[in-house]
Amino acid sequence: MPRTILTAGLALTALAGALVAAPAALAQPAATAAPTATPTPAPSRDAALREAYQKEYAFLVAQKRTLSERVETFERDSQRKENQLDALTRRLEAELLALESEVDRVNSTLNEAELALASRTDDRSILEATVEQARVTLSEMGEDVSTPVEAGGAEQVAAVWQAALSALFSSAEVRREPGAFFLEDGRQTEGELVHFGRVATYGISDEAAGALAPAGGGALKIWPAATGQTATALAQGQQPQTLSIFLIENRNREVEDEGGRTPLETIAAGGTIAWIIVALGVLALVLSILRAAFLKRASTNTQVLSRNVAEKLRAGDREGALAYCESHSGAISRVVAATLRNLDRDPDHVEDIVSEGILSESNHLDRFGALILIIAAVSPLLGLLGTVTGMISTFDVITEFGTGDPKLLSGGISVALITTELGLIVAIPALMLGNVLSGWAERIKDDMEKAALRVINVYREATAR
């Protein structure tokens, strides 16, 4: 609005200026039209019009001044109101910040209260669970931990503590009472039970005495160990130097003396595949022994044989060298004898005869070698087959009974791995023996070839001389 009033004042001022300048503009053409005429006084009409214009100009100037004052007054009022509004805005912003700070403080206090409440709730839950667990455990030990329903946490803890102290003191006592227990052969007998606190019990009867182990269902049985003297000493109130004890954890579950498995029991646990692997292992061992015997017979003292035959050939005693070879057994002596019989033939023919003799003896030297290596390769595969079969059976047990009893799962896995163990036990020695015997046979073949070549060379030298 101030801008509008100011614009109107400026427009009126411009109009007044135009009206004042109008008489001069109207008078200028008349002077130009008659420059030579004698000047005459202005008519009264022009004077009246000029006066009217001047009055109007004065009015407009006064109006402009009034409007300018009003504009200045309006601007001062507007500035004052604007300052007041700014002050009010700043005050409201300060109040808003104070309220937000108060809200944050209240929220922080509320969060702390919620955390404290949750912590107290958790502590109460833990306390209740602990008290309940202690009540169940101590109830199994024969201690009464009953407390009123309205009892607080402190009273419940006190009751549990008293019951625990009572159980602790009773656990340090040696008590005797009549009772029944089972002997090692399964027969039940009557006698005296000596309780060593709550962790062990000894049984004494006319038939046997010793530490007792859980037999299931709360019953007890003689543990197969030399603990009779300890039981008798405790029954008589004595304190033995060495306390042979069987710690009892739960009488409702029977404890079995597993002990160590014998080799036959281990093989039987592996099933049919385990027996097959063992049979292959025995067969590989027998074949290895037989092949070693064959190779021993086939390998005579090569150096002595070659030296003696060479000496006789140098002396020209070919028949004596042949008789010496025939008097010895072994693959090398047979190959050398065949070489001596054909020394008069051409060299190529003699070499063919030597090669034929070596090939003929190779069948005898390589006997059972391939079969032993086959057993060494098949045994681990059979062990893996047994493992896979056992794992399938284990998963069948899981499908039927679930995974609640780890004993079922561990037993099945143990049986499954027995075949792998047996397969490796058979394969490793069989592979080693097979390779060692094959190397022995190759050395015998090399010795035969060397001996035959030496005989040929010595005979040629003797003939040349």
d(C-alpha 274, C-alpha 386), whole Å: 7
Confidence grade of residue 225 (pLDDT, cut at 50, 70, 90):
low
What average pLDDT does this structure show over 461-465? 70
Q: Where are the beta strands (DSSP E) in 152-241?
A: 174-182, 188-196, 200-204, 209-216, 219-222
- Structure token pair of residue 24: 């001069």
Residue 100, pLDDT score: 92
Residue 88, pLDDT score: 92
Could you give the 3-state DSSP secondary structure of residue 273? helix
CB 159 within 8 A of CB 127: no
Residue 20, pLDDT score: 43
What average pLDDT does this structure show over 276-293? 92
- pLDDT tens-digit profile of 27-59? 344 333 344 444 545 457 888 888 889 888 999
What average pLDDT does this structure show over 337-347? 75
Which residues touch 444 (CB under 8 Å, ≥6 apart)? 295, 298, 299, 331, 332, 365
State yes or no: pLDDT of 70 exceeds 70. Answer: yes
Residue 425, pLDDT score: 93
Task: Tell me the C-alpha to C-alpha distance, in Å, between residue 319 and each of 111, 120, 336, 450, 456.
Answer: 118, 114, 13, 21, 15
State yes or no: pLDDT of 83 exceeds 70. Answer: yes
Q: How many CA atoms lie within 13 A of 318 on its CB side?
A: 14
Could you tell me where the DSSP H helices lie in 141-204? 153-171
Residue 35, pLDDT score: 45
Residue 140, pLDDT score: 66
State yes or no: pLDDT of 381 exceeds 90. Answer: yes
Residue 243, pLDDT score: 66
Amino acid at 241: Q
CB 262 within 8 A of CB 243: no
Average pLDDT of every residue of the chain = 76
- 459 closest CA partner among 322, 304, 302, 303: 322
Residue 311, pLDDT score: 77
- pLDDT tens-digit profile of 360-369? 777 778 888 8
State yes or no: pLDDT of 65 exceeds 50. Answer: yes
Confidence grade of residue 158 (pLDDT, cut at 50, 70, 90):
confident
Please state which of the ranges 52-56, 147-151, 178-182 shows the lowest mean pLDDT: 147-151
- 326 closest CA partner among 338, 343, 312: 338
Residue 234, pLDDT score: 66
- Structure token pair of residue 63: 């109006």
